[in-house]
């Protein structure tokens, strides 16, 4: 028996306003009795249209994701993305991370990037019949998909109405209008040339032969031939004359360029993108550079909230008298593979979802390679997750912010005077970073 097309069943069920439900049973007869709203408890997805059917949530679909590699996305991730179609991207990522913390290993939800999620929702809603991320239906699955479409038409779910303009509008079973194109107009559309995506436009559909450019360059450079093509018959080129000189002349050393000192890489510090973090991109420069803690959402920092990359210059005397330029970011999304060797510290709040896009996703493995830094408020306990990650995560505390004492119309100098302990904390943080860099040996004198 051929495996049903889970993606096609989901699309037809949505079009018929009979979406599937989560269930703890694999039998369609008892699926409704074991219905649940929790992805943690559910094991199957129960379809009532066109016939009762239970599919495991780990069923692979025809939808392929590029994050982090090209793989078939399971039914659990597809249905979760559909249920969260109306939420924003940050909220979708946060919900997926929260669900992954509850699911066992091997059943994690695939986090679709914005373009993939938008393309999936558009296809499931019927607004588009094509998707670059969905493989075509083949074999028996294609027959089943055609049967499902025929059932839709026979049931009156989407019966086209041909009008004078060639476009008809009908009502689905859910009462939502759907645009239907008549057969003749569709044939005209099929004859149109489809535009490619940015990959095919930039790279083309076949390799380009640039050998003529290389031959043209030889005319001017003369690197491969002793006589360039522009030389007259009997005329010896300059390179040929040099080649014919005695061996003694060849022994004279050419001009040796002066030694170029290796450019040292700028160390990178990663921040936590969590909204509960005391230190974010808006206030990290004030903290590490000026030695003053100000809440990240304070009105005085409104001009710094849009920055996604910052630079801080700091002299580490035990390593070099020349100041280091530190790069501060809150996401490794634009990292190249060699950037991870330059990461010297990771600020964390103890939330594991922060490390989803990291090279080392497990905290114990991550903090075996880089220094961890946790900054909390004095008087509040340190999260158990942070304590469990070992001595490679250094913990620090700052005084609680009091708006009446530190904010309002009080200038920065006065605030700094009242928050003199912040400077001590910042110096301790820098000492930890300096000790870690000294231990690595890559930034020594």
Domain boundaries, the chain: 6-152, 268-440
| Mean predicted confidence (pLDDT) in 147-156 | 46
Tens-digit pLDDT profile for residues 425-437 = 888 899 898 888 8
Beta-strand (E) ranges in 21-87?
Answer: 21-23, 44-47, 53-56, 60-65, 71-74
| Mean predicted confidence (pLDDT) in 22-34 | 89
Classify burial at 80, counting beta carbons within 10 Å of its beta carbon; exposed 0-12, middle 13-18, buried 19 or more: buried
Structure tokens at 432: 């930890």
Query: How confident is the model at residue 285, as a pLDDT?
Result: 86
Query: How far apart, in whole angstroms, are the C-alpha atoms of residue 267 and residue 345?
Result: 9
CA angle 124, 126, 131 (to 5 degrees): 65
Query: How confident is the model at residue 139, as a pLDDT?
Result: 55
Asked if residue 78 lies in contact with residue 323, where contact means CB atoms within 8 angstroms, the answer is: no
Tens-digit pLDDT profile for residues 348-375 = 988 888 888 888 888 888 888 889 999 9
- Whether pLDDT at 392 is above 60: yes
Query: How confident is the model at residue 249, as a pLDDT?
Result: 38
Tens-digit pLDDT profile for residues 305-340 = 556 788 888 888 888 888 888 988 888 888 888 888
DSSP H helical segments within 155-193, as ranges?
183-190
Query: How confident is the model at residue 341, as a pLDDT?
Result: 86
Query: How confident is the model at residue 406, as a pLDDT?
Result: 58
Looking at domain 268-440, its CATH class is: alpha beta
């Amino acid at each position: 028996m051929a495996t049903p097309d889970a993606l096609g069943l989901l699309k037809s069920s949505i079009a018929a306003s009979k979406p599937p439900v989560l269930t703890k049973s694999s039998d369609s007869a008892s699926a409704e009795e074991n219905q649940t709203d929790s992805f943690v408890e559910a094991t199957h997805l129960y379809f009532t249209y066109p016939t009762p059917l239970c599919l495991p949530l780990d069923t692979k679909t025809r939808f392929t994701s590029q994050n982090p590699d090209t793989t078939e996305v399971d039914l659990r991730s597809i249905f979760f993305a559909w249920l969260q179609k109306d939420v924003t991207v940050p909220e979708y990522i946060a919900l997926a991370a929260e669900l992954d913390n509850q699911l066992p290993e091997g059943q994690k939800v695939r986090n679709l990037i914005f373009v993939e999620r938008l393309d999936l929702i558009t296809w499931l809603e019927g607004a588009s019949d094509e998707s670059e991320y969905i493989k075509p239906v083949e074999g028996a699955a294609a027959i089943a998909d055609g049967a499902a479409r025929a059932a839709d038409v026979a049931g009156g779910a989407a019966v086209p109405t041909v009008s004078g303009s060639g476009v008809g509008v009908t009502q689905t079973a859910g009462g939502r209008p759907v645009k239907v194109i008549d057969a003749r107009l569709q044939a005209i559309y099929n004859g149109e040339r489809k535009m490619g995506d940015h990959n095919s436009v930039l790279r083309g559909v076949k390799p380009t032969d640039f050998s003529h450019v290389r031959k043209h360059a030889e005319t001017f450079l003369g690197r491969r031939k002793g006589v360039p093509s522009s030389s007259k018959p009997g005329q010896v080129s300059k390179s040929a004359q040099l080649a014919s000189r005695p061996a003694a002349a060849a022994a004279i050393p050419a001009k040796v360029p002066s030694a170029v000192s290796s450019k040292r890489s700028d160390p990178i510090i990663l921040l936590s993108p969590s909204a509960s973090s005391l230190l974010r991109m808006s206030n990290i420069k004030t903290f590490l550079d000026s030695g003053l803690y100000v809440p990240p959402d304070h009105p005085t920092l409104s001009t710094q909230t849009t920055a996604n990359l910052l630079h801080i210059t700091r002299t580490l005397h035990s390593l070099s008298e020349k100041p280091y330029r530190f790069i501060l970011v809150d996401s490794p999304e634009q990292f190249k593979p060699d950037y991870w060797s330059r990461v010297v510290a990771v600020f964390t709040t103890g939330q594991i979802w922060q490390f989803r896009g990291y090279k080392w996703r497990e905290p114990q493995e991550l903090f075996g390679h880089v220094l961890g830094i946790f900054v909390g408020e004095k008087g509040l306990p340190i999260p158990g997750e942070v304590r469990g990650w070992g001595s490679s995560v250094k913990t620090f505390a700052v005084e609680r912010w009091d708006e009446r004492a530190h904010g309002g119309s009080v200038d920065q100098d006065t605030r700094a005077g009242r928050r003199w302990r912040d400077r001590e904390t910042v110096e301790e943080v820098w000492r930890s970073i300096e000790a870690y860099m000294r231990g690595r040996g890559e930034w020594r004198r």
